[in-house]
Chain A
Amino acid sequence: MAFDAGGDTSDEALMVLYANGDRHAALALTQRVTPRVLAYAARLLSGDRAEAEDVAQETMLRLWKVAPQWRQGETKVTTWAYRVATNLCIDRQRAKGRKRQMALDDAPEIADGAQGAEDRMQDAGRMAALEAALAELPDRQRQAVILRHLEGMTNPEIAAIMEIGVEAVESLTARGKRALAAVLAGRKAALGYEDDSHAG
């Protein structure tokens, strides 16, 4: 039986099938989980694509290894993967000893729509400014803001990933967002909000 990335079979059921030798489950899990882990790692690592790919591959490697002992109903696969990716990113950042500022050239690719080149450059500039601002946040605030506002997770899901309480998540995301707004307030030019009378 084949499973596609958007099929009805849950990730947890796919883990069991994978552990039982189902090759289609291996493919489906790869297609479902890898892009999300990569996107999350790229954001946590301030757009360092090569590092993010290493983190994504390492996270998935650990997922394959834990599959035979996986117990359904205890943890969601994505929660587990995000948690592992978070720890790997923190380890790499500590090893570097500093946060890397994302260069404009490293900005994530943006879907090419019908916008003009000037608009796309403006968007790329905004994304780069946002990545740089995120990099200036404390680690926990950055994780919480990324998980809540970029990965679209709920507070209980974030609490499970960060292994803290829901109230702590709410506090972290609120403080992180305020800090983000403060950092970005000084980069109005990069964001293209210089003409906004409300900016400040």
Chain B
Amino acid sequence: MQDDDLDHLLAAAAKATPAPSEALMQRVLADALALQPQPAALHPAPAPARTGRLTRFLQALGGGPALAGLGTAAVFGVVLGYLSPTTLDYLTGSTADAAEFFPDADFLTTEG
């Protein structure tokens, strides 16, 4: 047998490719889909809550801690106003009257 004959025979055989049956293709595809990794589920991030004007104003003041301090000071002020302020005179009035910061300074204002 000549080489050319064998080459022609091999070339003809190469063209005579057996086609896969539809059933085989379906089985292979079914395997592919059954074994295919599933894409990771993606969940949309929740939309940020809308903030009103009051919220933004309070945040501008400093938020919760600042408001707590402010509230405490306000309550304390109300309490001081409600209670008799005369009790404070005891502390401020008497000491102010009794105190003499420059006892020896009178001679500076005395004529003669």
Q: Are A191 and B9 in contact (CB under 8 A)?
A: yes
- Nearest residue, chain A, Cβ from B26: A30
Summarize A's interface: helix, strand, loop or mixed: helix
A110 vs B13: C-alpha distance in the bound complex, in angstroms?
9
Interface size class of A (residues with CB under 8 A): 35 or more
Binds B, one of A55-63, A71-79, A88-96, A161-169: A55-63
Which 4 pairs across A and B sit closest by C-beta, in order of nearness? A21-B39, A26-B32, A64-B35, A149-B10
Please give the distance in Å from A25's CB to the nearest CB on chain B. 9
Contact with A along B1-38 (1 / 0, CB 8 A): 11101100111111111111100110111011101111
Complex CA–CA separation, A181 to B7 (angstroms):
10
Q: Out of B13, B29, B38, which one reaches A21, CB within 8 Å?
A: B38
* Bound complex: CA A52 to CA B12 (Å): 20
Task: Report the tally of A-B residue pairs with Cβ distances under 8 A.
Answer: 114
The residues in A between 45 and 87 inclusive whose CB is less than 8 angstroms from any CB of B are 49, 52-53, 56-57, 60-61, 64-65, 67-68
Bound complex: CA of A108 vs CA of B62, how far in Å?
85
Chain A residue contacts of B1, Cβ below 8 A: 181, 184-185, 188, 191, 193, 199-200
Extra inter-chain contacts (17) besides given A60-B28, A150-B14, CB under 8 Å: A18-B36, A19-B37, A27-B32, A35-B20, A39-B17, A56-B28, A64-B31, A64-B32, A67-B36, A108-B17, A111-B16, A123-B12, A130-B9, A181-B3, A196-B2, A196-B5, A200-B1
Contact B24 A65 (CB under 8 A): no
Set of chain A residues within 8 Å of B14, measured between Cβ atoms: 149-152
- Write the nearest CB–CB distance from A130 to chain B, whole angstroms: 5
Contacts of A18 in B (CB 8 A): 32, 36
Q: Check A109 against B6 for contact (C-beta < 8 Å).
A: no
One of A19, A35, A127 near B12 (C-beta < 8 A)? A127
Interfacial chain A residues near B35, Cβ < 8 Å = 61, 64-65, 67
B residues near A (Cβ < 8 Å) are 1-3, 5-6, 9-21, 24-25, 27-29, 31-33, 35-39
Other-chain contact of B39, A20, A49, A65, A151 (Cβ < 8 Å): A20
Q: Is the CB of B27 within 8 A of A57?
A: yes
- Interface positions of A (Cβ within 8 A of B): 18-21, 23, 26-27, 29-31, 34-35, 38-39, 42, 49, 52-53, 56-57, 60-61, 64-65, 67-68, 108-111, 123, 126-127, 130, 149-152, 177, 180-181, 184-185, 188, 191, 193, 196, 198-200
Contacts of A200 in B (CB 8 A): 1
